[in-house]
Each structure stands twice: as C-alpha cells, then as structure tokens.
A and B are shown apart, each in its own frame.
Chain A
Amino acid sequence: MTLIGYLTRTHFAEAAIEDALPEETGAFSNALLLTDAEPGVEAALDRVREALGRVALTVRNVPAGAPSRTETRALLVWLHETGTNALLAVGGEAAIGQARLLAAEVSRQGGRLTVIAVPVGVFDLGLGRHVRPRDGRPAICPRPDRVIVDPTVLEHAPIRRIAASAMEIMVHAIEAYASPSYNPPADGLALEAVRRMTRWLPVVLGAPGHREGLREVMAAAMTAGLALEKAVGGVDALALPIEPELRAGFLPGDLHAPLLAAVADFNAQAVGDRYAALATTLASGQGPVSLSTGISAFARGIGLPMSLREIGIDRDRFDRFAEMAANDPAALANPRRLTPGDCRQILEAAW
C-alpha cells in the first residue's frame, strides 16, 4: 500500500477499499454516500458496503455527466436533513465532482464536510484544482480529504471506455504541461503521467484485465490529477460545446485526440520547446516527431478516432461551436489567445 501525501491524503493499492477505507472512516458511525452511473460502480459499491459494515450509509445517486450547482442546492437540503458531516463519493467525475462542489458550498457557509472519495474510472480522481459544473464557471474546490485509489475497480470497466477516458486525462496532462503558468512540480507530474499512460494504456487495451497495466493506468490518472494544479485550456474549451451533440457510441474522450492535434499545431509558436518534450515522451524517444503527429499516431494505435469527421460531428455547427469555445473560461488557459476565427480554423483542421 502506498500513502501519497501530495495535495491530499491518497491511498493507492489493489484492495485499498478493503484495507484503507475502514481505517479512514473509523470515526464515523453514519455517512452519506454519493454515487453515479459510472461502469463498474455497482461492484465497487458492494465492496464499500462490505468494508464499512458498521457505518450506516444513506445513498444518493447523482445525474450522469458534469456536476451542477442545481444539484448542489438539492444536496444541501439533504445534508441538513440527515445531519451528518461525513460524505463518501464512490464513482466517476459526476459523484466525486459533485461531492467537492458540495464541500465547497458547505465551507462557504462556514461549515465543514469531510469527503472521502473512492474513484471508479480513469479521470483526475478528484485531485485537480478545479471542478467544472455544467451550469457555471470552473470553481476551485477543496480536494477530497481522503482519496482511496484501488486500481482493481477498473476490472469491471469496458475497454472502450478506459481508452477514451484515458485519452481525455492524458490530454489534460499535456495541456497542463504546455500551459503558461509557472509550476515546476506540476510540470514534472504532467510529463510523468504522459509517459506512464503511453507506456501502459496499449497494454491494458491489448490484454484486458492485465493487473499491472490497470495499476499503471490508474497511477497515470492519479499523477495527471495531481498535475492539474495547473489549469487546462484550448481542448477543453473546444470539446465542451461539442460533447452534448455526440452520437450514440461515442464518448467525450473521443474528441480529445483530434482536437489536441489541431490545437497543438495552432499553439506551436506560443509553446516553444515544451511540445517537443511531450512529443519525445509520446514517441518513447523514437525519433523526432511533432506533438500533433505523435498524438494522432497514438490515438490510431489504440483504436480511437483521429478526426471529428470519423466521430460524425456536423461541420455546419462549427461556427456555433467556435463562438462558444472562444468564450469558454477554459480558453483563457490556452497558451495562445483563441478568437472565434481561430477556433473555427482549429475545428476545420481537426475535421
């Protein structure tokens, strides 16, 4: 078992749910539990219930997708009714992001909510600085007080979903590394996340259930999450307006490789040698390639779409998407200033 003390208290181990979670909830006799529809969450919930046999849990499901301020208000009422200050979040971005938004709101009101997260899936694991609600600006939210990272939760996740969500978090790490704010530790973590993900994601996709591979992919997600002390930019701004219009069978992470390839070409002058360092990491040191070439080759290698055309995005909507992207708060974290015209050009290049 590894206890990682950066930014918050994180247990990382196979069977951390059984070994670390009871210790961390020791003082609570009852707690609220937020969960979502993330694939594999049912199995994780069974394990959490068994591990916390003596803790009375009141369970509530949150809607899929990004958390919201509307849901936060409803949860505040629920919190007051149940009269506890312990909150478990078991699931993906929806449950853990919602728990963080709720903790931030309780803190604003002068209270204190202890949040213990059990991430299920490949995302920032609740470690990034910001939470992006679907109905508001990205907000700085307290990280969960404890994060129980158990890579075995991925054994129940569909391979297709792991691929898309791993690409999404890796793109976030790439953007964090390229973003202009000065944060050397976060830069180091971002590069390490990219290195680990490119090394192990193909292994997991080639041999589903590969224990070491799942552990390393989860470790890469955790490392990327810690790197998200820095903000992420252009790709998020461009992907968000498109996501609600994705056709069945496609996932938000599918947008990230084609968009990053186009954004990387657009940003090249502003970013300088940072993209070269990323491209070398992506290519595992094999020859000089550009970041856009490297990311496209990696996406092709793991069977993800390489263009918006393959995903079936309607080109007639590009002007609308471009307008929304240029005015999205995430656009400000892009190393190069993004105008609606620039965004349109990037979308064309990604198509």
Chain B
Amino acid sequence: MSVAHAVAHGAFGRACLYELDRPMVPHAHREGHLIFHVRGPAAKVVIDGRAYPLNPFEATAISPWQPHYFLPVDQRVPTLTLVLYIRPGWFVEASGQASEILRFGRPTVSMDDQIGRLVAETARLLAAHRGDDGNFEDRLGALTQAAFDQTWQWQAGGRAEERARFGFRDFRIRRAINLLGETLSEPIDLGTISRAAGLSRPHFFKLFREQVGLPPTLYLNALRMERAIERLARGEETVSEIGLDLGFATPASFSRFFIANGVVPPSAYRRSVLGAVH
C-alpha cells in the first residue's frame, strides 16, 4: 500500500513525499511534474508509453498534460519519492523564463551533485516542517529550475522533445474543454460533449488527442482529481460528499479512482495536507 508521508500545498502547486509500491493508471495533470528517487528500490515511470528509469542517478520530468504512470519494479519494498506538481504560472513568475511554460526538454534528469543536494534539502524540509519553513519555496524553485534547465541542455545521444509539440487548438476542442470543466459535477457523457462541440464521437477523440496530447477520458480524470484535491485540502466537506458530487456512485469507487490516479486514498491524502492552500 502506497503511503503519503507529507504533502504541502502552496502557490507553487504541490510537493509530496510518497512511499510508492503500486503501479498507477495512466493519468495526466496540468502541472509540470518531477519525480525524484529518495530511498528504496529503483522503479520506472512510463511517459507517453515509454518507460524511463527512476533511481538515485535519474529522475523523471513530465510536461503538463503528458500521460504517465508510476511502475514499481519490486513491489515488496516501497520506493520513497519526492513528487512535485509545479504550477506553470508560478514557475514562469519565479524563474522569469520567457517561454516553455514548464515544458521539459527531456523526460530524464541526471541526479548531479547540485540536484541531489536540492532534492535532499527539499525532502528534509518537507518531512520536518511540511513546507512551512521559509526556505522551502526557495529550494523548490531552485530544484525545479535546475531540473528544467538540465532537460534543455544538449547532450550527446540525448533525446529532446520537439519544442512546439501542441499548437493552436480547434475552436470545437476549446468548446469541449470548457464544457468538461463546467459540467464536472454532473454525470458526463463524452458522446454528448462531442455533439455539443459539433463533432462526431470518433472525430472528437482523434482531434482531442492530436491537439491536447491525451485522450479526453484522461483529461476528464485530471479535472476530477484537481477538483477532488482542492476540496479535500479545504477540509469543509466529507470525503463521501466530494466523491458523490464529482459523479462517483459510491465512496468506494471514488476511493479506487483516487488511489489509481493519486497514489493514496482520499482520506489519507487529506490527513497529509498540512500546508496552506492558495
């Protein structure tokens, strides 16, 4: 059973110390995502269908909306990981990068001394102070910047992503995205969404994947997770209320969905959120 040791929410997004021993389902989110190995056996992260190593020497960098999932190699012993979900808007502001919006150049980050030190410091501050230490955000910014910069550095034999991977979005896809966000608390039928957007269902799925980079089902799951995490962190409603409101028939189905997409059960996640939500 995977465990959340510490979770901090902030203007930066989310930072989590997770002990992972279960494979997750393919999912995506709007944040830039960095996964660092802290302790335990090596594992893998599958990004866009290709497996990348996660070990003391290599971390993984996942761009916003890139489908991915964690894959343990040895399920008997969990892998302690520092998992960052960085809000692109915060990163642009903190780093002053004029472009790229936290789209990484490569999915692997070499754990050089500097990045290793930053990971250790960030993980220590998160575990000890749960993100409340004044230096936490500085460390997080420096770590994200260092990882981001490294993924854009040229290296012999390195595989860089094509920069302009997704460009202009068709107005029908934009309309569908708006509809998905607006109707999240109702049972959603993607056939209805595609018709409302003026597309046949197969054409909608094809165009969505081409222009957004993932199937609409994963996009919808990401929206549900976002909404669930936000409401869990606010602490004003019961877990069952949140699940039902997000269209899940039973608390158990909400819990299964949350574990598969977000590591731990919703109640455990709520207990681990100790930072302020902005």
> A140, A182, A333: which contacts B149 (Cβ < 8 A)?
A333
A315 touches B (CB below 8 Å): no
Cβ–Cβ < 8 Å partners of A182 in chain B: 98-100
A332 and B142 contact, Cβ closer than 8 Å, known pairs A181-B97, A229-B96, A327-B113: no
* Interface contact A270-B154, CB-CB below 8 Å: yes
Query: Can you list, as one digit per residue, whether each of A328-345 has a CB less than 8 Å from chain B (1) or not (0)?
Result: 110111111100000000
* Interface contact A336-B96, CB-CB below 8 Å: no
Within the assembled complex, what's the spacing in Å between the Cα atoms of A132 and B145? Answer: 16
* Interface contact A129-B153, CB-CB below 8 Å: no
> A129, A183, A333, A335: which contacts B154 (Cβ < 8 A)?
A335
Number of A interface residues at 8 Å Cβ cutoff, please give it. Answer: 24
B112 touches A (CB below 8 Å): yes
> B99, B113, B114, B153: which contacts A337 (Cβ < 8 A)?
B153
Chain B CB count within 10 A is highest, among A182, A326, A334, for A182
Would you list which residues of chain A between 145 and 204 have a CB under 8 Å from chain B?
180-183, 186
B277 touches A (CB below 8 Å): no
Within the assembled complex, what's the spacing in Å between the Cα atoms of A14 and B46? Answer: 61
A332 and B149 contact, Cβ closer than 8 Å, known pairs A327-B113, A327-B114: yes
* Interface contact A336-B154, CB-CB below 8 Å: yes
* Interface contact B98-A180, CB-CB below 8 Å: no
* Interface contact A270-B153, CB-CB below 8 Å: yes
Tell me how far the C-beta of B91 lies from the nearest C-beta in chain A, rounded to whole angstroms.
13
Query: Can you list, as one digit per residue, whether each of B195-236 has a CB less than 8 Å from chain A (1) or not (0)?
Result: 000000000000000000000000000000000000000000
Cβ–Cβ < 8 Å partners of B98 in chain A: 181-183, 186, 229
Cβ–Cβ < 8 Å partners of B145 in chain A: 332
> A137, A186, A334: which contacts B153 (Cβ < 8 A)?
A334
Tell me how far the C-beta of B212 lies from the nearest C-beta in chain A, rounded to whole angstroms.
22
A332 and B154 contact, Cβ closer than 8 Å, known pairs A137-B142, A181-B97, A229-B96: no
Would you list which residues of chain A between 95 and 142 have a CB under 8 Å from chain B?
129, 137, 140
Within the assembled complex, what's the spacing in Å between the Cα atoms of A182 and B148? Answer: 13
* Interface contact B154-A327, CB-CB below 8 Å: no
B146 touches A (CB below 8 Å): yes
Cβ–Cβ < 8 Å partners of B2 in chain A: none
B155 touches A (CB below 8 Å): yes
**At the interface, is chain B mostly helix, strand, loop or mixed?**
mixed
A8 touches B (CB below 8 Å): no
* Interface contact B154-A337, CB-CB below 8 Å: yes
Within the assembled complex, what's the spacing in Å between the Cα atoms of A267 and B155? Answer: 10
Query: Can you list, as one digit per residue, whether each of B149-193 has a CB less than 8 Å from chain A (1) or not (0)?
Result: 110111110100000000000000000000000000000000000
**At the interface, is chain A mostly helix, strand, loop or mixed?**
loop
Cβ–Cβ < 8 Å partners of A58 in chain B: none
Cβ–Cβ < 8 Å partners of B112 in chain A: 326-327
> B99, B153, B158: which contacts A335 (Cβ < 8 A)?
B153
Cβ–Cβ < 8 Å partners of B152 in chain A: 180-181
> B99, B110, B142, B154: which contacts A181 (Cβ < 8 A)?
B99
Within the assembled complex, what's the spacing in Å between the Cα atoms of A326 and B150? Answer: 12
A29 touches B (CB below 8 Å): no
A180 and B153 contact, Cβ closer than 8 Å, known pairs A129-B96, A326-B112: yes
A269 touches B (CB below 8 Å): yes
Chain B CB count within 10 A is highest, among A129, A329, A332, for A332
* Interface contact A337-B97, CB-CB below 8 Å: no
Within the assembled complex, what's the spacing in Å between the Cα atoms of A327 and B150? Answer: 12
Query: Can you list, as one digit per residue, whether each of B79-111 has a CB less than 8 Å from chain A (1) or not (0)?
Result: 000000000000000111111100000000010
Which residue of chain A is the closest to B110 with respect to CB atoms? A337
Would you list which residues of chain A between 218 and 236 have a CB under 8 Å from chain B?
229, 231
Which residue of chain A is the closest to B150 with respect to CB atoms? A332
Known: A180-B154, A327-B114, A335-B153. 20 other contacts (CB 8 A): A137-B142, A140-B95, A140-B96, A180-B153, A181-B97, A181-B100, A182-B99, A231-B149, A270-B153, A327-B113, A328-B114, A329-B146, A331-B114, A332-B114, A332-B146, A332-B153, A333-B149, A337-B110, A337-B150, A337-B153
Question: What are the nearest 10 A-B pairs in CB distance?
Answer: A270-B154, A182-B99, A332-B149, A337-B153, A337-B155, A183-B98, A327-B113, A336-B154, A180-B152, A327-B114
Q: List 26 A-B contacts (CB under 8 A).
A: A129-B96, A140-B94, A140-B95, A140-B96, A180-B153, A181-B97, A182-B99, A183-B98, A183-B99, A229-B96, A229-B98, A231-B149, A267-B154, A269-B154, A270-B154, A329-B142, A329-B146, A331-B114, A332-B149, A334-B153, A336-B153, A336-B155, A337-B110, A337-B153, A337-B154, A337-B155
Hey, which bits of chain A sit against chain B, CB under 8 A?
129, 137, 140, 180-183, 186, 229, 231, 267, 269-270, 326-329, 331-337
